[in-house]
Chain A
Amino acid sequence: MDTDLAHAWLLAVASSVEADRERLTRLDAEIGDGDHGTNLHRGFTAVRAALEEIHPESVGRVLVTTGTTLISRVGGASGPLYGTVFRTAGKRLEAPECDVAELAAALSAGYEAVCALGSARVGDKTMLDALHPAVEALTAADPTGGLAAAARAAAEAARKGAEATVDLQARKGRASYLGSRSRGHLDPGAASTALVFGALADVTSG
């Protein structure tokens, strides 16, 4: 992945979030307070503007700029959580470009950081339920198979992980107050994480 591709990835995430804004908000209305789409849209609109203004010159800087902007603009839980994933991953990538294994290791560090920040783990019905399988898929990808194949696997894993949250009872975040009533609903944070990896697959498929 080079800087241009990282830039394209985050712009694609912004577009996906914009297109799915209503769906994310509807999912959140079922088990939260119905603003996940609105909040992420505000954040990624700011990310788009920040990337165009700053023009970061490495993959790592693109991700750090994204994370910092999300923390400053989103609020709620998703601002710090998404911001931490991108900032932590970005700080691990010092060279202008990275290969699949390096990207996987960086995102894995992002995953660890967000687990610690949110005191959450896989199975709590959160964004982690999509993030973890996606990072695992990237990590397990054949290094000779290229980024596109790895990103497709990650996107598929994130999508399946998000869908599997339907059967889970929330143990973190606002949905946890519903207890068993949170079952039967797709977690909006997992759904938006699936969009992030879907966008990665889209921009790498050439």
Chain B
Amino acid sequence: MKKFLNTADTFLPDALAGLAAAHPELRVDVDTGTVVRTEAPESAKVALVSGGGSGHEPLHTGFVGAGMLDATCPGQIFTAPVPDQMLAAANAVNAGAGVLFVVKNYTGDVLNFEMAADLALEAGIEVQTVLVDDDVAVQDSTFTAGRRGTGATVFVEKLAGAAAARGDDLATVADIGRRVNAASRSFALALTACTTPAAGRPGFDLPDDEIEVGVGIHGEPGRTRERLRPARELVSEAMEAILADHEALGAGDDTIVMVNGLGATPLSELYLVYGEVASYLSERGIRIARTLVGNFVTSLDMAGCSITVCRVEEPFPQLWDSPVRTPALRWGC
């Protein structure tokens, strides 16, 4: 393992200390395990709280700020945070207009956020939850924990965050979040495994000429292992899975598309992949209205990418374009 760290045990607090030093507009509290906007609670605004295991940066800490999240509660690497953290985050940002929990669909995240929602309700905080489950690589939820929440989390946090910023009430903000999730699908490909600081070695062995297809964001192996092939063919496979699953999406539709790096893939490769995605959609008469290319939902040092496609409906474009000022997304302000 080659990583910039002092000790594996202090990796997370040391990384959070750096985040705090770089971003004085965030209140980073290592004791309660929360990262909060300094402006929060913002009068009469619905507050957005998300969180999950660490190791996916910039998700979620990089999306705390005006127009997106009010607070997040980073857990241990790839481990859902505990209810106490979520409750502390909710308490720190609640302005009386209620709190929206944005939760990625993993057993640990769901269970801890459910417990936190119960505690928050007992404390008199109104809570709604949006569950993100966009990963089409997970098939047949009867035999699995259900689809994973991956790239669409960025879309949900941006669009629901914008709805909250313009003054929508909790039910409306939650509805926007659920609609964004329902309109989004993702698929991911890994070229290498990732290494957690605690494990010190890659999560799985992958020969130079093989890839994992349909991976999640926790270093777990994917749905299948395949030979490395030209990017065009790999993108086709991913896009076929997305379109096959997305019954509503077809010719004439507008989309928001994200090509997301998993942590160790150069931007040039991500743009190459984006080019293939754009061609693929164009050939099928599907327009791309908004684009995001970069590292947004990572899996530590995994090489690979994920593709997320959201079918646009009103008022997604307007919410997408509204100002956002966070460490990792910043425009219009």
Is B truly associated with A? Answer: yes
Give the residues in chain A near B142, CB-CB below 8 Å: 171
- State whether B115 touches A33 (Cβ < 8 A): no
Q: Interface digits, B67-103 against A, CB 8 Å rule (1 contact, 0 not)? A: 0000000011111111110000000000000000000
How many Å from the CB of A171 to the closest CB on chain B? 5
From A33, A71, A118, A172, contact of B219 by CB (8 A)? A33
CA distance A173 to B218 in the complex (A): 12
CA distance A76 to B203 in the complex (A): 18
Q: Which of A117-150 contact B (CB under 8 A)?
A: 117-118
- State whether B148 touches A177 (Cβ < 8 A): yes
Instruction: Determine chain A's interface SS by DSSP, over half rule.
Output: helix
Instruction: Please report the total number of A residues contacting B with Cβ < 8 Å.
Output: 34
Give the residues in chain B near A39, CB-CB below 8 Å: 76, 79
- State whether B83 touches A32 (Cβ < 8 A): no
Q: Interface digits, A10-32 against B, CB 8 Å rule (1 contact, 0 not)? A: 00000000000000010001011
Flag whether A188 is at the interface (Cβ < 8 A).
Answer: no
Flag whether B248 is at the interface (Cβ < 8 A).
Answer: no
From B76, B78, B107, B220, contact of A118 by CB (8 A)? B107
Given contacts A29-B199, A35-B196, A174-B106, contact A181 B221 (CB under 8 A): yes
Give the residues in chain A near B76, CB-CB below 8 Å: 35, 38-39, 42, 75-76
Q: Which of B300-327 contact A (CB under 8 A)?
A: none
Given contacts A77-B107, A77-B108, A172-B107, contact A178 B145 (CB under 8 A): no
Flag whether B138 is at the interface (Cβ < 8 A).
Answer: yes
Flag whether A80 is at the interface (Cβ < 8 A).
Answer: yes
CA distance A97 to B155 in the complex (A): 54
Flag whether A161 is at the interface (Cβ < 8 A).
Answer: no
From A33, A71, A76, contact of B220 by CB (8 A)? A33
- State whether A80 touches B111 (Cβ < 8 A): yes
CA distance A173 to B223 in the complex (A): 15
How many Å from the CB of B179 to the closest CB on chain A? 25
Q: Interface digits, B138-174 against A, CB 8 Å rule (1 contact, 0 not)? A: 1100111100100000000000000000000000000
CA distance A78 to B143 in the complex (A): 20
Give the residues in chain A near B115, CB-CB below 8 Å: 71, 80
CA distance A101 to B81 in the complex (A): 36
Flag whether B123 is at the interface (Cβ < 8 A).
Answer: no
How many Å from the CB of B16 to the closest CB on chain A? 15
User: Could you list some 25 contacts between A and B, CB below 8 A?
Assistant: A32-B218, A33-B78, A33-B196, A33-B218, A34-B199, A34-B203, A35-B198, A35-B199, A39-B79, A72-B84, A75-B112, A76-B75, A76-B76, A76-B108, A77-B80, A78-B108, A79-B82, A80-B115, A81-B111, A171-B143, A174-B220, A176-B143, A177-B138, A178-B223, A179-B139
Q: Which residues of B contact A (CB under 8 A)?
A: 53, 75-84, 106-108, 111-112, 115, 137-139, 142-145, 148, 196, 198-199, 203-204, 216, 218-221, 223
Q: Which 8 A-B pairs have the closest CB atoms?
A: A80-B111, A176-B144, A77-B108, A76-B108, A77-B107, A33-B218, A76-B79, A33-B78
